[in-house]
Structure 1
Amino acid sequence: MQRMLDGLIKFRQEDFEEHKALFSKLKRRQEPHTLFIACSDSRVMPEMITKSLPGELFVVRNIANIVPPYKEVHQDYVATTSAIEYAVKSLKVENIVVCGHSNCGGCASIYLPDEVLNNLPDTKKWLELAQNVKKRVMVHLEDETDEYQREWLTEQINILEQIKHLLTYPYIKEKYLNKELNIYGFYYMIETGEVFIFNYDTGVFELSN
């Protein structure tokens, strides 16, 4: 905790002072250009990865960067869906990024047995949203014993599945088809710092230049 407290002081004395004019401009409003949907993993830092300044990214984070499919009326609490709605409808972002990453514990958890997940009931419920990812992976998997292949295939297919979910939202689909909204899939490699971006034309994730 002391390290965090020291960080607060360092931020105020250094980073804040460096961007003081920007923070003053942001005090009454925000105009982010991108909704960034990322995993809650502590190793994933959207602003650091993209070198974005305060006010540029509207960030939503949850286990395995999941986007619940659209429902006209939700009966449960809707942290992720409300953030998506607010970003697109109120803040009118120009881009949506779904960012997955290597060694994702959330993606790995969809393969855990029930006796393990039963100890994590809320996590188990949340990961029901990724069951189709698991099905898609098993169709493409050449060797079911190759855990490394399963890992990266799951993480990348999961990104594509969440983009598919985004397009079930009528207000997102309309803006996307009218070219008023861009949707990107990022795959971040923690160990190398590389980010691969999904190319809709080639159907593969390609290293960003």
Structure 2
Amino acid sequence: MPSIVAGVVKFQNEVFPQKKALFEQLATGQHPEALFITCSDSRIDPSLMTQTAPGELFICRNAGNIVPPHTTETGGMTASIEFAIGALGVPHIVVCGHTECGAMKGAMNLDALEKLPHTKRWLSYASAAVSIVEEKGANWTEEERMQELLKENVLLQLQHLRTHPQVAAKLAAGKLHLHGWVYDIRTGEVLAYNDETREFEKVSKRYHDRIAYHMERMQAAHAHEGHSH
């Protein structure tokens, strides 16, 4: 805790003053670009990974980046998804898994979680992904099976997302886009699912056109600032 509270003091004294205008703007409301669903794992930092500022990501985290299929029961994930899409009008949802995921290791062997009953039940929402890997990878190594499970779990949670009424409605109207990512802790690589090729590709390849467009806009903005000065 000492390092955490010292960090709060440093934030208040050094970081906040530099971003005061941003926080004053954010105090009046938020307009995040994406709902970012990822694992609670302490090694994952969505804002660091995406280089986004406060106000740009609406973040939901849980063990295994799980999205329960929609039911009439209220849960934290269900309510947060509904709010992000229905109230904030977020246009993108990213489900981001990661390497070395303890939750996915647990999902592969639910029987070992008898002493963690809530964890066991929660990870059962990944059971279909486990079944897919067992079917496809009977002759694979454990490492190969785990790498595939990370991807299949992300795809499964995207399927679950589509069962949520607000998500289904916005998708049908073309006002929402879903993204499936897997982040590699060791290398920093991020793979993104391509619906057309049905493969996970490097983010730089998957979003090449969007990145180029963004860079052009950034360069134009900098050039405009230069002329104005």
- TM-score, with normalisation over the residues of structure 2? 0.86
Q: Distance in 1 between matches of 2:60 and 2:177?
A: 17
Distance in 1 (alpha carbons) for counterparts of 2:194 and 2:18 = 36
Q: Which residue of 1 aligns with 2:10?
A: 10
1:122 counterpart = 2:111: no
Percent identity, aligned pairs only, is: 40
More helix by share: 2
Asked if 1:161 corresponds to 2:145, the answer is no
Q: Deviations over 1:22-73 (max 9, x none)?
A: 00111131111110000000011111100110011110000100000011x1
Q: Deviations over 1:115-137 (max 9, x none)?
A: x3111111011111111111111
What is the distance in 1 between the residues matched to 2:118 and 2:144? Answer: 27
**Kept in 1: contact 2:32–2:56 (CA 8 A):** yes
Q: What does 1:1-209 align with in structure 2 at a 5 Å threshold?
A: 1-71=1-71, 73-74=72-73, 78-112=75-109, 114=111, 116-144=112-140, 146-209=141-204
The one-letter amino acid of 1:82's match is A
Q: Any stretches of 5+ residues in structure 2 without a counterpart?
A: 205-229
My pick for the range that moved more, 177-186 or 154-163, is 177-186
CA distance in structure 1 between the aligned counterparts of 2:185 and 2:63, rounded to whole angstroms = 16
Structure of larger gyration radius: 2
* More displaced 10-residue stretch of structure 1: 6-15 or 161-170: 6-15
- Which moved further from structure 2: 35-44 or 105-114? 105-114
Q: How well do the aligned residues superpose, as a CA RMSD in angstroms?
A: 1.2
The CA deviation at 1:175 is 1.1
Q: Aligned partners of 2:133, 2:160: CA distance in 1, in Å? A: 17
User: How far 1:113 moved relative to its partner?
Assistant: 5.2
Q: Secondary structure of the equivalent of 2:64?
A: helix
Verify the 8 A CA contact 2:190 2:203 in the aligned structure 1: yes
Letter in 2 for 1:23: F
In the aligned structure 2, how far is the partner of 1:176 from the partner of 1:53? Answer: 26
Q: Deviation per CA, 1:133-160, whole angstroms, max 9, x where unpaired?
A: 111111111425x111011100010000
